[in-house]
């Protein structure tokens, strides 16, 4: 097994594609590489859309673009699986890579390094454009013309509490003093023509800002931008620290100002190229039952509805032939695991490097539904830190779990960087053969954990406290600073000259796979 080169420095990472100024440009780029499937026949919003999206997601097929949704305003469209994985050779992470402005052949660790490299670049003040320059203002609905049910919003899973419009957009709120504007992805469900409800968790930033407005006895001005530029989706899905404006990160990632336009009825700005914008206020007193919902852990989240604040809609604006992005969350691998997982990994790696910990990579295996994080360390970690293995592991766990990214997931697997964390087969092999039962587990009890973590019981979900763990997947030799024991694999167990001769002659043995023969 070859050593995984996971210790790329930020300066080694460069965007090899281009950044898209709109979601529509991104869709066109996906279409150009065979990652979009146009569906012209009428598709029912009631379960049929969700089922089609789920099947394409699970089978890594092109993203379905629904051009004819039952009961929707004619011309309005929806696209599922905007950031799901692909079965095309070499393009497994192509959608996420294009969202990052990277080569579509990039792997997960390269994308995390690119995420981190962007944070070190200067940000650019946004450019606020006039109304006539903003595509999202091509149609404006106010007052009695507001009707959320005329949008192509699916009833995604059998058992959901309603039609979920917000699965891949960004909620935009601003603190009352105007100093902090937060962009975030938080699910929300249609109640009727002019009202939504959704998660406003107090520990999350939308909940913190909502709490500030409630203290003043006022509703929270709010906008939901759907079909935003892909860099904005990355920023909105990332667990950045409080009081950071995600729009600044978008400019760092793309290298140019974000184009915004003022809302019609609230004092906020939204990406000017958004496909659909919904404006209004999050009530400071009115609640409605929300859920259950088939969530990213692969289970129906609930199972009982819960009361959450009501979003009262005061305006809807949208583009001609607007496209609503939809994520059909569920068993891995789907879009939440890619978008959210990327941000979690980038923020965790950033925390480790600020703590001067010799970590070469952080990656959440997509198949773990963002419940695992693999942290790889170099063979030199012992000399680099002068720490014993127990203290070293505790520092990694404390650094990550106490960060804003760290309460989003419960398990860390620490292993040597001879393991490629993006290769599930290697991760499973290392976990199975290197983690000692009992002594290989470091428990962090009663830590802050997101209520969406799948295995938490009802009491833990209520308190937001539960167990987290770190697993020592270093070999005994790696744990004490000695060389790795000999690995038995084609790359390691045979002379190099023999390997080259076998590869050259591979097809002469009767094997026909040209990919294997070329390696």
pLDDT tops 80 at residue 517: no
- Per-residue pLDDT band for 480 (boundaries 50, 70, 90) equals confident
pLDDT tops 60 at residue 518: no
- Per-residue pLDDT band for 16 (boundaries 50, 70, 90) equals very low
d(CA 163, CA 31) in angstroms, rounded, equals: 27
- Residue listed under structure tokens 């906020």: 268
Integer angstrom CA distances of residue 23 from 227, 367, 399, 489: 5, 26, 35, 44
Residues above pLDDT 70, as percent of the chain: 96
- Per-residue pLDDT band for 519 (boundaries 50, 70, 90) equals low
pLDDT reported for residue 28: 97
d(CA 93, CA 101) in angstroms, rounded, equals: 12
pLDDT reported for residue 9: 38
Crossing angle for the helix pair 108-119 and 335-354, to the nearest 10 degrees: 60
pTM: 0.92
Count Cα neighbours of 87 within 13 Å in the Cβ-side half-sphere: 8
DSSP state at residue 436: P
Residues classed as catalytic:
295
d(CA 314, CA 335) in angstroms, rounded, equals: 30
d(CA 301, CA 102) in angstroms, rounded, equals: 34
What domains sit in the chain, N to C, each tagged with a CATH number?
13-118 (no CATH), 123-320 (2.30.110.10), 355-480 (3.40.1670.10)
pLDDT digits (tens, 9 = 90+) for 180-215: 999 999 999 999 999 999 999 998 999 999 999 999
Q: Give the H or E element holding residue 133.
A: none
Question: Mean pLDDT over all residues of the chain?
Answer: 93
Closest by CA to 319, choosing from 227, 257, 229, 190, is: 227
pLDDT reported for residue 4: 42
Contacts (Cβ under 8 Å, ≥6 apart) of 507: 514, 517
pLDDT reported for residue 447: 84
pLDDT digits (tens, 9 = 90+) for 493-507: 999 999 999 999 998
- Per-residue pLDDT band for 515 (boundaries 50, 70, 90) equals low
d(CA 256, CA 251) in angstroms, rounded, equals: 5
């Amino acid at each position: 097994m070859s050593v995984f080169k996971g210790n790329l420095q930020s300066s080694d990472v460069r965007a090899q594609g281009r950044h898209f100024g709109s979601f529509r440009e991104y869709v066109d780029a996906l279409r150009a590489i065979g990652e979009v499937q146009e569906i012209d026949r009428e598709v029912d919003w009631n379960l049929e859309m969700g089922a089609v999206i789920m099947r394409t997601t699970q089978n890594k097929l092109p993203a379905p673009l629904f051009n004819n949704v039952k009961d929707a305003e004619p011309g309005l469209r929806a696209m599922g699986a905007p950031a799901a994985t692909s079965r095309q050779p070499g393009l497994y992470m192509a959608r996420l890579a294009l969202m990052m402005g990277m080569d579509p052949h990039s792997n997960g660790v390269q994308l995390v390094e690119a995420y981190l490299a962007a944070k070190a670049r200067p940000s650019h003040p946004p450019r606020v454009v006039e109304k006539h320059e903003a595509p999202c203002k091509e149609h404006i609905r106010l007052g009695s013309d507001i009707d959320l049910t005329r949008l192509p919003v699916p009833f995604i899973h059998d058992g959901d509490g309603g039609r979920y419009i917000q699965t891949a957009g960004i909620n935009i709120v601003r603190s009352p003093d105007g100093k902090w504007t937060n962009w975030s992805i938080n699910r929300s469900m249609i109640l009727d023509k002019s009202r939504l409800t959704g998660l406003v968790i107090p520990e999350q930033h939308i909940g913190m800002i909502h709490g500030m407005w409630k203290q003043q006895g006022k509703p929270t001005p709010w906008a939901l931008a759907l079909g935003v530029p892909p860099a904005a989706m990355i920023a909105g899905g990332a667990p950045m620290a409080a009081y950071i404006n995600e729009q600044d990160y978008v400019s760092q990632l793309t290298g140019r100002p974000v184009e915004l336009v003022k809302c019609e009825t609230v004092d906020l700005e939204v990406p000017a190229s958004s496909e659909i914008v919904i404006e209004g206020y999050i009530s400071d007193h009115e609640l409605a039952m929300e859920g259950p919902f088939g969530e990213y852990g692969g289970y129906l989240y609930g199972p009982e509805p819960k009361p959450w604040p009501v979003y009262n809609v005061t305006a809807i604006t949208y583009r001609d032939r607007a496209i609503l992005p939809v994520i059909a969350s569920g068993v891995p691998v789907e879009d939440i695991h890619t978008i959210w997982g990327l941000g979690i990994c980038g923020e965790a790696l950033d925390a480790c490097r600020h703590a001067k910990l010799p970590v070469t990579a952080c990656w959440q295996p997509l198949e773990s539904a963002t419940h695992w994080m693999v942290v790889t360390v170099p063979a030199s970690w012992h000399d680099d830190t002068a720490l014993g293995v127990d203290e070293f592991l505790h520092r990694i766990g404390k650094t990550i779990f106490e960060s804003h990214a760290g309460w989003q997931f419960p398990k860390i697997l620490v292993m040597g960087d001879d393991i490629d964390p993006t290769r599930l087969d290697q991760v499973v092999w290392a976990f199975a053969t290197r983690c000692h039962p009992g002594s290989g587990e470091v428990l962090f009890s009663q830590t802050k954990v997101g209520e969406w973590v799948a295995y938490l019981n009802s009491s833990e979900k209520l308190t937001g406290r539960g167990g987290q763990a770190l697993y020592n997947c270093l070999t005994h030799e790696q744990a004490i600073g000695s060389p790795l024991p000999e690995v038995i694999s084609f790359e390691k167990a045979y002379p190099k000259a023999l390997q080259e001769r076998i590869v050259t002659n591979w097809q002469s043995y009767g094997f026909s796979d040209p990919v294997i023969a070329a390696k």
